[in-house]
Chains A and B, each alone.
Chain A
Amino acid sequence: RKEVEQDPGPFNVPEGATVAFNCTYSNSASQSFFWYRQDCRKEPKLLMSVYSSGNEDGRFTAQLNRASQYISLLIRDSKLSDSATYLCVVQGDNTDKLIFGTGTRLQVFP
């Protein structure tokens, strides 16, 4: 089993749609969780950190369920500019190492 698993997609959605990405992780000792966004041929960029209580940043909402070892990202009112690969990233306690999921490709069409 991979340490961080994501549905690779692609998710093809129209502008204005709501789309949800899910991610599971295997190490119950993991402490830090992030969603990164990566555009084609560019570097990963932090989209948002994921807090236990859940957090929202504009159209983006992240949730963490520690009991189920599950992380989600919800994007509302999708824009063409949201088209990218979304990487679920997990960091264990007492380590500098980030574990990346394989990424979920999102394509928003007009």
Chain B
Amino acid sequence: DTEVTQTPKHLVMGMTNKKSLKCEQHMGHRAMYWYKQKAKKPPELMFVYSYEKLSINESVPSRFSPECPNSSLLNLHLHALQPEDSALYLCASSQLRGGGLAKNIQYFGAGTRLSVL
């Protein structure tokens, strides 16, 4: 079983709603990630947090707003989404960059399947 927990597992929202996705890990990892995955495509990186600071934003639209309240938690706030934003949203964590191959391994949560109506 994954040690990265994501809630909710499924979410249906309208284009005017505000919702949040949550991710939690207790492995002591210091890097956390949000990915978006469409059907039959690989995961696409959205954001990276390293030591609770945003280190990478892959030019994601502002209707997606990440937040890292502490080293174990990662949120993704959603507002005014479009139907094309419907996808599987995956959270991942890793120990830290560098220091050997093992520390770069990313562990994924089970994802939140989002439908925007």
Interface residues of A (CB under 8 A from B): 32, 34, 41-46, 49, 51, 87, 91, 94-98, 100-103
Contact = CB atoms under 8 A, between A and B. Distances in A.
Size bin of chain B's contact surface = 20 to 34
Given A32-B101, A51-B101, A98 B108 contact: no
B42 A101 contact: yes
A98 B48 CA distance: 11
17 contacts: A32-B101, A34-B105, A42-B110, A42-B111, A43-B111, A44-B90, A45-B2, A46-B105, A46-B107, A49-B101, A96-B50, A96-B56, A97-B56, A101-B42, A102-B41, A102-B42, A103-B42
Given A32-B101, A49-B101, A49-B102, A96 B108 contact: no
B106 A98 contact: yes
Given A91-B104, A96-B31, A97-B56, 13 more contacts: A32-B101, A32-B104, A43-B110, A43-B111, A44-B90, A46-B106, A49-B105, A51-B101, A94-B97, A94-B98, A96-B48, A97-B48, A102-B42
A96 B42 contact: no
A51 B45 CA distance: 24
